[in-house]
Amino acid sequence: MPTHDDWMRQALAEADRAFEEGEVPVGAVIVRDGEVIARGHNRRESRQSPLSHAEIEAIASAAARQKSWRLDECDLYVTLEPCLMCAGAAVQARLRRLVFGCRDPKAGAVRSLYRCAEDARLNHRLDVVEGVLADEAAERLRAFFKRLRGGPDADSGADVL
């Protein structure tokens, strides 16, 4: 039976696709009944859309495949802690569980800045698992920002972990 690490490796593969496309390397997969039903990676630059985060791409794809916006039997795996928009989308989609890699202290809305996924004031809450393959996820971000800024002494730009 696949583990959180197995599913996160698939999300990391999506992050690698984003990296290859010149996008910030964040990847996501949505799993239902032991099967990946949707994938997504950042496409903000290529689509010139602030909405094209990995999680939003995956959630939209899963909803289309399921023919329902309710994804209550699905789990979202994402390499970086979701931002406020993506955490809100996960709540709105009624996802069962959110599993993420590394924290994002500048924009994370699940643990770092807010706790949207577990806020009792909302009508839905999701189980949260954090830190799955966090080092691997953070390294992709560091490598991307190092390349973007050019050179070995460049600041990573990502305060992750």
Active site residues: 55
Q: Percentages helix, strand, coil for the chain, rounded to the nearest 5?
A: 40, 20, 45
For the chain, counts of helices (H) and of strands (E): 5, 5
Report residue 47 as tokens.
């689509």
**Bridge partner list, 33:** none
The Cα 96–Cα 121 span in angstroms is 17
The 8 Å CB, 24+ separation contacts for 40-45 are: 40/14, 41/14, 41/15, 41/17, 42/18, 43/18, 45/21
Quick one: 138 exposed, middle or buried, by C-beta within 10 A (0-12, 13-18, 19+)? Answer: buried
